[in-house]
Amino acid sequence: MAKTPDTRNWNTIDKDLSRISHVENAASYVGKPMVAIGISMVFMLFAGLAALILLGHTPVNYIVIAAAVFGAYMALNIGANDVANNMGPAVGANALSMGGAIIIAAIFESAGALLAGGDVVSTISKGIIDPAGVADTRTFIWAMMAALISAALWVNLATKIGAPVSTTHSVVGGVMGAGIAAAGLAAVNWPTMTAIAASWIISPLLGGLIAAAFLALIKNRIMYQEDKIAAARKWVPILLGIMATAFAAYLALKGLKRIFTIDMTSALLIGAVIGLLTWLITRPLIHRQSEGLENRNKSLKALFSMPLIFSAALLSFAHGANDVANAVGPLAAIVHASEAGDVAAKVAIPMWVMVIGAFGISFGLFLFGPKLIRMVGSQITKLNPMRAYCVALSAAITVIVASWLGLPVSSTHIAVGGVFGVGFYREWHMERRRAKLPASPMRAAPAPEERRHRKLVRRSHFLTIIAAWVITVPAAALMSGVIFALLNLTMG
C-alpha cells in the first residue's frame, strides 16, 4: 500500500530525530568516566606529537611539547565548563536537545576561535604582571607553565563539583600566582587586579538585571495582554531586532579585528542597521508563524525557540573568538619565549595553538559538557524559551555595555548571572502577585517550610557557584605559586 505524504514526512522527521539521538547516545557512552578520560588522554598525546613534529627535537622544545599537552588539557576543560553557559539555557528550555546543543556549540566555538580569534594575545593576561619582573626567559616559561597547569586543574575541579566558573579568571589567577612566586608582590599590577575583582560583582549583577528587565517586558507587554498573539506579533520582532543589534555590534567589535580596527560607535551603527533589517524581515515571518496559535502563554514558546537557538550559536561563536585566545595565552607565550629567547608583553598566536584550543573545546564539550549544560539549563531554576531568550539577550547586551565602559567582564558570570536574574525576578514577581490577592480566611499565610519549597532558585546551587566564583582567582593563584616553586626547584 502506498504511503501518504504525511506518513513520508513523519518518517523523515523520525530519521532526523534518530540521528540526533545517536549523538546523545554516543555522548552518554563516552560520558562514562574511563572512556572519556581515555579519549582525553589520546587527544593530549596528539597535541604533544603535533608540537614535536612542528618544532623539532632541541632540548628547549621539549618544554613546548609539555606545554602543548597541558594546553590541550586546558582546552578540554574549557569545553567541559565554559561552553555550558551558552548552551545550557537553550537545552533547559527544550529548544535544543543535548545532542543538537553539542553539535552546534562544537561547530560555532571552533569557527569563532579559528576565524575570528585574536591574532595577538597578552602574555601577561590583561596586564596584571609587569614583564620586567620576570624578564629571565626560563623563569617566565615556568611561570606561564604553572599558570596553564593551575588554571586547567581549577576548572577541572569546578566542573567536578558542578560549578560554572570563568576560565579567563582562572588564567588570571594562575598568572598572578606564578608572577608573585617568581618576582614578589610588586610584580602585580594591583589597580588592574582591582578592576578584574570588581567585574566579579558587576558581571553577574548587570547580566541578571538586564535578563530580569527583559522578562518583565515580555510578561507585561505580551503574556499578560488580553490578546497575547496580537501582542507577540508586535513585540517579538522588536525583541529580535534588539537581539540582532546587540550581536551584530558585538561581532563587529570582536570578529572584524583581523580585517580592520572598528570603534564602538561604528559597531553600534552596524548593529542598529542589522537590527532594523531584522525587525523588518521578522515582522511578516512572526505574523505567519503565529497564525492558528491558541491565545495562551504556552503557544508563545514556539515564537521564541528558533531565535533562542540562533542566539546560542552566536554566543558560542563569540565565546570561541574571545575566550579561547585568553585561555591558550600562556601556551602562546611559552612558544614565543622558547623560540625567540625573550619575554614579550604581546605575542602572535600560532595557528596550531589555536587549533588545539578549538578542537580541545569540542572534545571537552562532547566528553564532559552535558553535566554543566544540565546544571545551567535546568538545575539552577526552571527555564522556558522566553526566559532562556532573556538570558541570551542579556549576555550579548552586557558584553557590549562592559566594552563601552572598558570593564573586564566574564562571559560565564554574565550568562549564569542572567539565569539567576530570571529566577529571582520570578520569585519576587510571584510573591508580589500573591500579596495583591484579596485577603481570605481560607488562604492562610504559608508555613516556613512551604515558603522554602516555593523558592524558584535552588539556594544550594546558588551558594556553590558564588563560592566558586569568589575563590577562583585566589585558588588558581595559590596552586600556580606552588606549581611554579616545584618546577623551578626540580627543573631550574
Residue 251 pLDDT exceeds 60: yes
Separation of alpha carbons 491 and 455, rounded Å:
53
Residue 256 pLDDT exceeds 80: no
Separation of alpha carbons 392 and 167, rounded Å:
19
Q: C-alpha angle 340/344/345, rounded to 5°?
A: 160
Closest residue by Cα to residue 406 from 266, 272, 263: 263
At 236 the pLDDT is 93
Residue 2 pLDDT exceeds 50: no
Average predicted confidence (pLDDT) for the chain: 81
Q: pTM to 2 decimals?
A: 0.81
* Digit-coded pLDDT (tens) for 64-108: 889 999 999 999 998 888 877 788 888 988 888 888 888 898 888
Separation of alpha carbons 13 and 19, rounded Å:
10
The three-class DSSP label of residue 372 is: helix
* Digit-coded pLDDT (tens) for 50-60: 888 877 655 55
How many beta carbons lie within 10 A of that of residue 445, not counting itself? 7
Separation of alpha carbons 423 and 208, rounded Å:
9
User: Which DSSP category does 378 fall into?
Assistant: I
* Digit-coded pLDDT (tens) for 342-379: 776 677 778 888 888 888 888 898 888 888 888 888 88
How many beta carbons lie within 10 A of that of residue 21, not counting itself? 13
User: Which DSSP category does 120 fall into?
Assistant: E
Separation of alpha carbons 142 and 181, rounded Å:
11
Can you name the residues that pair with 120 across neighbouring β-strands? 348
* Digit-coded pLDDT (tens) for 25-44: 555 555 566 788 888 999 99
Residue 142 pLDDT exceeds 80: yes
* Contact predicate 122/413, CB 8 Å: no
Closest residue by Cα to residue 394 from 367, 373, 368, 416: 416
Separation of alpha carbons 286 and 82, rounded Å:
33
* Cα Rg, the chain, nearest whole Å: 24
Instruction: Give the ranges where 56-97 is alpha helix by DSSP (H).
Output: 59-81, 84-92
Closest residue by Cα to residue 425 from 223, 213, 225, 224: 213
* Contact predicate 244/281, CB 8 Å: no
How many beta carbons lie within 10 A of that of residue 436, not counting itself? 7
At 453 the pLDDT is 47
* Digit-coded pLDDT (tens) for 407-438: 667 778 888 899 999 999 998 888 887 777 66
Maximum pairwise Cα distance, the chain: 85
* Digit-coded pLDDT (tens) for 447-474: 555 455 457 888 888 888 888 888 999 9
Kindly state the cell numbers that stand for 160.
567536578
